[in-house]
Amino acid sequence: MEKTVPADLEKRIGKLREELALYQKAYYVDSRPLVSDLEYDRLFDELCALERDNPQYADPNSPTVRVGSDLSSDFPEFSHTIPVLSLDKAYSSQAVLSWTEKSIEKARSDLSFVIEEKIDGLSMVLYYEKGLLVRAVTRGNGFVGNEVTANIRTLPSVPLKLSQPVDIVVRGEVYLPKDAFEKINSTLEEPYANPRNLAAGSIRRIKSSETARVPLTIFCYEGFTDDAQFGDHIQILAYLRQLGFRIDPNIGYFCRTAEQARARLKEAGLENFVSGSFEDIPAYIQRRTRERGGLPYEIDGLVCKVDEISVRNAFGYTGHHPRWALAYKFEAPQAETRVLGIDVQIGRTGRVTPVARVVPASVGGSTISNITLHNQDYVDQLELAIGDTVAISRRGDVIPAVESVVEKNEEGNTTWRMPECCPYCGTALVRRGGHHFCPNYSCPMQAKLRISFFTAKGQMDMEGFGPETVSLLFDNGYVRCVEDLFDFDFSRLGGVRGFGDKKVAMLRSSVENTRKASFRQVVTSLGIPEIGSKAVDSLCDSGLDSMDRLLDVADRRAVDELLAVDQIGEKTALLLIDGLNDPNTRNLIAKLRSYGLKMEDEKNTGNLSQIFSGQSWCITGSFESFASRDLIVRLITDRGGKSVSAVSSKTSVLLAGQNAGSKLAKARELGVKIIGEEEFLSLIGRPAGEEKPAASEPVQGELF
C-alpha cells in the first residue's frame, strides 16, 4: 500500500479542516450552502478517517467535533469575566417608549436604540482566545456558570475558529427551532413543556454525541473585546458577523429620524435590519408581537438597548441588570389568582413536591386550581407565600405555572418553607440536590405508590389493582409492599366489603399472570428512576438481557459498560446501578424470581427465516424507523446476514438511509446492490414506523 508522506498528510488534514469549516459556516451560519451534501459528506468522512488513523494531529477545533464524543464531559464551575446579568422588564410598549425618553433625558444627548428579539433559549457565554473557542459557559447565577464547552462545540453554528485571531467574549442564546422540537418531543416518553427545556436538557448531556443529535443553534448578540474599539452596538453586531457569528436578522434600529437610522445601518453594512424613527417604535413592537407566532423559533419578548457604547458605560449597572437595556416581555396567556395553600405531594421515590392550591382561575380556556411549584428553590425564587396574589400562565400552553407574585398577602405570611417532616409518616425530610425527600422506605404513601406503579399498565399491567383497591389492601394491612402481592392469600378477602368473589378471582389471576409478563416488563416494574421501557429495550438489545447480567454490572459498578449502551447517559447509568444495588430492590428481585417471573429476555431468533444467509451488509446514513444502528445490525444478523463496516466489491447489499455519503458513492461505483429504508422494512416484514426514531432519556430542564 502507498504510504502518505507525513508532511502531505498534515497538509491534507489542514486543508480539509479549512474547507469544512468554511462549508459549515456557509450552511449553518449564513444559510447559503457552498457545496452539495454529498460532497460535504465525502470530505467530512475523509477527515474523520484521517483523524482517527492519525491521532497525533488531533485538534479540539476540528470541524469533526460537531458529531461529539462519548467521552464523559463534566460541568466545572467558571467565574465569568464579564457581567452576565438579566434584564429589567417592561410589559407594555408605552413603558418601553417612556424608558427611551428617560434614557435620552439622562444622557442629555440624542440616543439611538436597537430592538432585538428576546429568544426563549439558553443564555451562553463563549470565550475566545486568539480566535479559538476555549470555553463555553452557561449564565448560571450571573457570576458563576457551568462550563459546557465539549457540548457547545457540537453546535455547527458556533464558530470554533474566528476569521481573526482576537480575544473576545460573546454572549448568545442557544435555542432549538420549533419544528425540531415538535419532532423530537413526539418521540419522548416524558415530553418537555417547551423547546427551551429540551435545549437546556440537551446542553447538559454527559455524552457530547447526544447533544450533537439535537439540532441546536445560536444567535449571538453581545461582544466584549479589547482588540477593537466600537462607538455603538450595531458596529459590534457587524463585527460579530464578520468574525463568523450567527446574528439574528430580525433587528430594528431607531434614531431621531428614520433617515439617520437608515444611513447608520448602511454604514455598518446592516441594511437588512429594520430602520425607523422614535415614533415608529410602538408600531414596530406591536407588529413584532403580532407576528411572533410565525417565527421558526420561540421568542418571549423584545430587548431594547441603548446603541451608544459611551452612554452604556456612563449608565452602568445596578446589582441586577444593566441600566442601558430593557426587556419587553410578551404577555403569555395569563391570569391573576390567589394562593389558598401549598400542599406537599410525595412520589414513589419519596420526592416531595410543593403544589399551590389557588382560587380556580381560567387561563387560555381551561380552569386551573393546582399548580406545581417543583421544589423549595423555585418557591424561593418567586418569594411565594400563602395568601399572595400571583400571575399564573400555561407555559408552552401546557403546564400551568406561577409566573410571579403580583401582590403580597396582608396576613404577614412569609415565604413558604418545606415542612420539616413527611406529612404521611412523620419522618424528617432530607434534601438531595434541589429536592426534598422522605427517606422512609416504609412511608405508607410511597409504599402505596410503589404497589400502584408495579401493578399499572406499562409495568405488570395487573387487572383489578386500581388505586382504590391498592389503598384498601394497604390500609387493611393485607398488602403492605409489592412482595406481599405474591404472599397474600386473596381468598382471605371473601366477605370483606368491596371484594366479591369475582373481584377476588380477578386479583388472584392477575398475580399469577405476572409469570407471563416479559423480562423487559419485569425490569421496568422495579421502578428504578429513569429506567423506563425505552431504556430497558436498549439494555436488552445491547446484550444486558438477563437479571443476572444486570446485577453483575451493578455489582461491579461498571458505568463504562452502561455508557456503551445506546441511549444510556451517565445519569441514567448511575441511577440504574444505585437502583439495582438498593437492598429493597434486591429483596423484590429475589421475591419475583422465587415466584417464577421471567429473569431473562426471550430470544425468538430461532423461528426467523434466514433470508440474509451468506450476505454481507453495510449500513450508512440515518434511519427514521430505528432507534439505533445496533438494532438494524441485529435484525440482519438474526436473519443470517453479517454486517461489515466498509463497502467493497464483496459487499452484498448497502442499506442506505438519509444523508448517506461516501459509502453510497462507493457502492454505486462498485455496482453493489443498494436498498433504502422502506425496502428493508418490507424485506424483514415490518411496516414502516413501528420502531420510533432515536429518543433520548428524558432529562429535566433546568431553570437558568
Please give the positions annotated as active site: 118
In the region spanning residues 101 to 120, those forming contacts with Zn ion, defined by CB under 5 A, are: none
- 356 counts as binding Zn ion under rule CB under 5 A: no
Binding mask 603-632 for Zn ion (x = CB under 5 A): ------------------------------
**Bridge partners of 367?**
362
Residues 386 and 413: beta-carbon distance below 8 Å: yes
Nearer to Zn ion, 276 or 527 (CB): 527
Q: Which stretch binds Zn ion (CB under 5 A): 32-40, 74-82, 142-150, 422-430?
A: 422-430
| DSSP annotation of 397 | T
Kindly state the smallest distance separating residue 442's Cβ from Zn ion, in Å: 8
Kindly state the smallest distance separating residue 429's Cβ from Zn ion, in Å: 8
- 562 counts as binding Zn ion under rule CB under 5 A: no
Nearer to Zn ion, 333 or 419 (CB): 419
- 378 counts as binding Zn ion under rule CB under 5 A: no
Residues 130 and 165: beta-carbon distance below 8 Å: yes
Kindly state the smallest distance separating residue 438's Cβ from Zn ion, in Å: 3
Nearer to Zn ion, 421 or 703 (CB): 421
How far from 220 is each of 122, 169, 237, 238, CA to CA, in Å? 12, 11, 8, 11
- 368 counts as binding Zn ion under rule CB under 5 A: no
Match 436498549 to its residue by C-alpha cell.
Answer: 538
Nearer to Zn ion, 198 or 346 (CB): 346
Match 430461532 to its residue by C-alpha cell.
Answer: 606
Q: Which stretch binds Zn ion (CB under 5 A): 191-199, 442-450, 497-505, 629-637?
A: 442-450
Kindly state the smallest distance separating residue 375's Cβ from Zn ion, in Å: 17
Kindly state the smallest distance separating residue 468's Cβ from Zn ion, in Å: 21
Among candidate residues 115, 168, 169, the one with its CA nearest the CA of residue 139: 169
Q: Which stretch binds Zn ion (CB under 5 A): 298-306, 432-440, 535-543, 650-658?
A: 432-440
How far from 429 is each of 346, 440, 530, 684, 703, CA to CA, in Å? 11, 9, 22, 53, 23
Grid cell digits, residue 289: 408581537
**Residue of 443, 470, 580, 656 interacting with Zn ion (CB under 5 A):** 443
Q: Which stretch binds Zn ion (CB under 5 A): 270-278, 374-382, 424-432, 678-686?
A: 424-432
**Three-class DSSP category at 660:** coil
Nearer to Zn ion, 436 or 663 (CB): 436
Size of interface with Zn ion, in residues (CB under 5 A): 6
Binding mask 381-420 for Zn ion (x = CB under 5 A): ----------------------------------------
Nearer to Zn ion, 438 or 485 (CB): 438
Kindly state the smallest distance separating residue 353's Cβ from Zn ion, in Å: 13
How far from 515 is each of 402, 549, 658, CA to CA, in Å? 46, 20, 42
Among candidate residues 295, 272, 35, the one with its CA nearest the CA of residue 178: 295
**Three-class DSSP category at 340:** strand
**Three-class DSSP category at 537:** helix
Kindly state the smallest distance separating residue 17's Cβ from Zn ion, in Å: 58
Nearer to Zn ion, 80 or 448 (CB): 448
Angle 233-243/258-268 helices, nearest 10 degrees?
A: 30
**Residue of 75, 315, 378, 424 interacting with Zn ion (CB under 5 A):** 424
Kindly state the smallest distance separating residue 475's Cβ from Zn ion, in Å: 16
- Rounded distance between C-alpha atoms, residue 623 and residue 627, angstroms: 8
Residues 120 and 195: beta-carbon distance below 8 Å: yes
- Phi, psi at residue 494, to the nearest 5°? -50, 125
- 352 counts as binding Zn ion under rule CB under 5 A: no
Grid cell digits, residue 107: 444622557
Nearer to Zn ion, 419 or 621 (CB): 419
How far is the first Cα of the chain from the last one, in angstroms, to the nearest whole number? 55
- 422 counts as binding Zn ion under rule CB under 5 A: yes
Q: Which stretch binds Zn ion (CB under 5 A): 238-246, 288-296, 402-410, 443-451?
A: 443-451
Nearer to Zn ion, 330 or 424 (CB): 424
In the region spanning residues 271 to 310, those forming contacts with Zn ion, defined by CB under 5 A, are: none
Nearer to Zn ion, 325 or 438 (CB): 438
Q: Is 485 exposed, middle or buried (0-12, 13-18, 19+ CB in 10 A)?
A: buried
Residue partners of 515: CB distance under 8 A and separation at least 6: 595, 596, 597, 598
**Residue of 332, 425, 574, 684 interacting with Zn ion (CB under 5 A):** 425
Beta-strand relationship, 274-277 and 252-255: parallel
- 429 counts as binding Zn ion under rule CB under 5 A: no
Nearer to Zn ion, 445 or 473 (CB): 445
Kindly state the smallest distance separating residue 230's Cβ from Zn ion, in Å: 59
- Residue 675: which region, alpha, beta or left (left: phi > 0; alpha: psi -120 to 50)? beta
**Residue of 96, 169, 358, 438 interacting with Zn ion (CB under 5 A):** 438
Q: Where are the alpha helices (DSSP H) in 75-131?
A: 93-107
Kindly state the smallest distance separating residue 478's Cβ from Zn ion, in Å: 21
Kindly state the smallest distance separating residue 343's Cβ from Zn ion, in Å: 14
Residue partners of 698: CB distance under 8 A and separation at least 6: 188, 189, 190, 192, 201, 530
DSSP string for residues in 157-193: TS-SB-SS---EEEEEEEE--HHHHHHHHTT-SS--S
- 447 counts as binding Zn ion under rule CB under 5 A: no
- 441 counts as binding Zn ion under rule CB under 5 A: no
Binding mask 151-190 for Zn ion (x = CB under 5 A): ----------------------------------------
Per CB under 5 A, residues contacting Zn ion are 422, 424-425, 438, 440, 443
